[in-house]
Amino acid sequence: MNVSSVMRGAALSEVSPAMAVSRRPWGRFKERVIELLLLLAALSSVAITVAIMVILIKESWTFFQHVPLWDFLTDTEWTPLFDNPRYGIMPLISGTLVSSAVALSIAIPVGTAIALYLSEFAPFKMREAAKPVLELLAAIPTVVYGYFAFLVVTPLLQQLIPGLPGFNLLSAGIVMGIMIIPYVSSLSEDAMRAVPMHLREGSYAMGATRFQTAWKVVTPAAFSGLAASYILAISRAVGETMVVALAAGGQPNLTWSPLDPAATMTAYIVQVSQGDLPHGSIGYQSIFAVGLTLLLITLAFNILGYWLRKRYREVY
């Protein structure tokens, strides 16, 4: 043992009791403060939800004092910025529903087929290669998809369907559908992969083929996950903005035909925000009323998806 370590030992034994006494309360206090700060950070997510609700409801409240709720829900015209304003949300809802329906009729079958293929058929290497590609497809900015819909897909469709207007819900819906495919495929695949192996083995033991196993055993067993992924796709389609704002036009139009131009709820919000709306005007409040409607619709779908996943989750 050398001198310095003895010295240090002596110093430690002299100092440590005093330090322990003086440090412990401070240490405990510091731990408490850190935990409190971390809790506050976690609570900030709740604060965001509360802030969204408060802001939307506050501005909508003044809107609905000017516009009766009944007119808002039943009037068939939406012209808040005209001299003779009408405030019926129906045309915006019809535009949203039509473009979402087109998108889902592409995203759900294609997304499910990809998920089933990757989970049950594809060799390991292909799956490893396909997943990043799908992820990249989901990562492309929506404004790029909007450009693609407006300047590439619409001219192509115009050659197939003569007389198709330059703005239409069909082209927006198709591109939106492609955009949503990765969301459907990745969640559906997760659900299918969560189906335990012994169910498949049982099916094969009975002499079933791959497709029979995939379609009659794995798909029903993964039902709750599939349903949840479809519902997420619906809420994505309803909330999607840039594709419809660029490709479907901004004219509110009560129509059920995908070949017509029309505005969606999201497109209206974007279109109005582009202009200079005075703070507190009825036009300014109208985008919050539309936003609240949009939020309530997507919230309903999210809750339905959450419930479905809980309710129908098979426990193996």
Partner 1 sequence: MEPTAVAEIRRLIAKAKRWDLIFSLVGLLALSLAVTVLVGLFVNLVWDGAPRITTEFFTNFSSRRATSAGIAAAWVGTLLVMLVTALTAVPLGVAAGIYLEEYAPKNWLTGLIEINISNLAGVPSVVYGLLGLGLFVYLLGLGQSIAAAGLTLALLILPIVIVATREAIRTIPGAIREGAYALGATKWQMVSHHIIPYSSAGILTGVIIGLARAIGETAPLITVGAAVAIFSYPSSLFKGDFPFLSFEWLRESFTVMPIQMFQWTSRPDQAFQVNAAAAGLVLIVLTLLMNGFAIYLRYRLRKNIKW
CA within 13 Å, CB half, 244: 35
- Binding to partner 1 (CB under 8 A) within 14-43 occurs at 27, 30-31, 34-35, 37-39, 41-43
Nearer of residues 1 and 17 to partner 1, judged by Cβ: 17
Please tell me whether residue 226 binds partner 1 under the rule CB under 8 A. no
Please tell me whether residue 274 binds partner 1 under the rule CB under 8 A. yes
- Binding to partner 1 (CB under 8 A) within 73-92 occurs at none
Nearer of residues 257 and 274 to partner 1, judged by Cβ: 274
Please tell me whether residue 123 binds partner 1 under the rule CB under 8 A. no
Of the candidate spans 12-20, 66-74, 150-158, 190-198, the one that interacts with partner 1 by CB under 8 A turns out to be 150-158
Size of the site for partner 1 (CB under 8 A): 84
Token pair, residue 207, equals 């002499």
Please tell me whether residue 12 binds partner 1 under the rule CB under 8 A. no
Nearer of residues 35 and 71 to partner 1, judged by Cβ: 35
Identify the residue among 29, 61, 211, 307 touching partner 1 (CB under 8 A).
211
Identify the residue among 14, 15, 20, 121 touching partner 1 (CB under 8 A).
121
Identify the residue among 7, 136, 161, 206 touching partner 1 (CB under 8 A).
136
Closest CA to 255 of 264, 243, 244, 245: 264
Token pair, residue 28, equals 């405990």
Cα distances (Å, whole numbers) of residue 150 to 140, 143, 170: 16, 10, 11
Unique residue bearing structure tokens 């909007």: 146
Single-letter amino acid code for the residue at 107: A
Identify the residue among 16, 74, 76, 212 touching partner 1 (CB under 8 A).
212
Residue 230 CB partners (closer than 8 Å, separation 6+)? 104, 108, 184
Nearer of residues 56 and 93 to partner 1, judged by Cβ: 56
- Binding to partner 1 (CB under 8 A) within 239-258 occurs at 239-242, 245-246
Please tell me whether residue 144 binds partner 1 under the rule CB under 8 A. yes
